[in-house]
Amino acid sequence: MKATSRFFLLFFIMISCSLIAAGVSSYLLYRAALHEEENRLSDIVMTNALIIEEMVRFGKAHPSDYPGGAAAAALAQIREAHLGFVVMGETGEFTIGRMEGDSIVYLLVDRHSGEDMPSPIPWDSKLGEPMRRALSGLSGTVIGRDYRGHTVMAAHVPLPELGLGIVAKIDLAEIRSPFIRSGLIAVLLTVLVVVIGAYLFLRIADAVIRELQELNEQLGRNTEELERSNRELEQFAYVASHDLQEPLRIVSSYAQLLGRRYQGRLDTDADEFIAYLTDGANRMQVLINDLLAFSRVGTRGKPFAPTDCSRAVNQAIDNLAFAVQENGATVTTDPLPILNADNSQLVQLFQNLISNAVKFRGDDAPRVHISAQRNANKWIFSVKDNGIGIAPEYKDRIFVIFQRLHAKNEFPGTGIGLALAKKIVERHGGVIWFDSQIKKGSTFYFTIPDHGGNKR
């Protein structure tokens, strides 16, 4: 996904989360307020019911004071007490009603009086739901339509002895409106904060991205330059070692000819000088051949093809037959996989590792074992010997070209073998390392990626 799409997705997720959070918290607050309102309305109806019942009881105890009847007197007093008494916000009211025939008749409605009183409501209409419940003998709370057809939250209680119902109610819209208002403000603020945050983030990110892009371009240029100079160096090494072979061959063959023809015929100094000349020419030939092989890894490598590693190892052992025999070495192998690789480079790789294992031998006859293990999508090869071992501090050094740990009269060599091995492994996309103990032997490991899942 592109960075801008990712940014907009993040922006969208942040806005959505903030809106959901604002919505949920407003809703929870609204539910709490609704519950609070329910309790308040219930308290009002219960208190009024108690007062009315008390007044009626008092009236009945003093019948001479209330000739019109205790209930009628109590009702008249309550009505008087409620006159001009507007409770509960903009829309809240207290009502008393009773059944007359098939209709609900309101005797007291806080916000109405005289002519203005609501007209009776038929019992089976959808209006006056809270009063209908009270007159049906139910007490509790309800959300329903009142005598005006407005949806209200109401508490209702019956007064069965007086045939009355009491309702305290308030419009649901009035309870909701502060939460809708604060919810909308929260949503607006959230959107504003997220938009400003995103704008600031974009401005900062833009500068950072531009800086990173510049660094990336610089890196690309450096890598290109490095690759170019590497290619040039490889080419140079190849041309130099290739073109040096011819004059060297002439020096070497004439030195040999000189040796054969004049050995013992000149003085002893001349014999010694000819021997130095031949030896020097031979060593230079080995060095140039190794250098040529090294420069060929990158420039003359063949395309990868299915390669039987067991055959590559056998080929390497055949090439080393003389050294193996001379040292009385035993080379054993486990079954090895078939992999996509450059066959001749694999032969060269095994040859270098096996030849080192045989060359850097201890007192015992060399024993070399080659095996391979699959690990996820790569194979880990190991070449294990019982030779002189390598001190751990030379971990990285021995893979550098021309780096040797021994004098050439101790162990012959050019110091190119492991550098070449490393180059081959890296060309195949792997890594090389070793594990060793002085005088106990070394194990060289290298990996070759295998995405085909080849088995042995």
What tokens appear for 309 in the block? 């590693």
Closer CB to ligand ADP, 339 or 398, in the complex: 398
Cβ neighbours around 150 below 10 Å, total = 16
Residue 405, interface with ligand ADP (CB under 6 A)?
A: yes
Residue 417, interface with ligand ADP (CB under 6 A)?
A: yes
Out of 26, 141, 343, 414, the only residue in the binding site for ligand ADP (CB under 6 A) is: 414
Give min distance, CB of 352 to ligand ADP, in A: 6
Give min distance, CB of 354 to ligand ADP, in A: 9
CA pair distance 308, 305, nearest whole angstrom: 10
Burial label, 128 (beta-carbon count in 10 A; 0-12, 13-18, 19+): buried
Q: What residues numbered 316-375 form the site for ligand ADP, per CB under 6 A?
A: 352, 356-357, 360
Q: What residues numbered 372-401 form the site for ligand ADP, per CB under 6 A?
A: 385, 387-388, 390, 398
Residue 145, interface with ligand ADP (CB under 6 A)?
A: no
Which of 61-69, 107-115, 156-164, 409-417 is the region at the interface with ligand ADP (rule: CB under 6 A)?
409-417
Give min distance, CB of 434 to ligand ADP, in A: 8
Give min distance, CB of 240 to ligand ADP, in A: 19
Residue 406, interface with ligand ADP (CB under 6 A)?
A: yes
84: Cα within 13 Å, side-chain hemisphere: 1
What tokens appear for 310 in the block? 């067991």
Q: What residues numbered 432-451 form the site for ligand ADP, per CB under 6 A?
A: 442
**Rg of the chain (C-alpha set):** 51
292 neighbors 245 (Cβ within 8 angstroms):
yes
304-308, long-range: CB within 8 Å, 24+ apart, which pairs?
304/340, 304/341, 304/342, 304/428, 305/340, 305/341, 305/342, 305/343, 306/338, 306/339, 306/340, 307/338, 307/339, 307/340, 307/341, 307/342, 307/343, 307/346, 308/336, 308/338
Give min distance, CB of 12 to ligand ADP, in A: 58
Give min distance, CB of 432 to ligand ADP, in A: 11
What tokens appear for 393 in the block? 């501090």
Residue 413, interface with ligand ADP (CB under 6 A)?
A: yes
Closer CB to ligand ADP, 155 or 291, in the complex: 291
Q: Where on the chain is the footprint of ligand ADP (CB under 6 A)? A: 352, 356-357, 360, 385, 387-388, 390, 398, 404-406, 413-419, 442
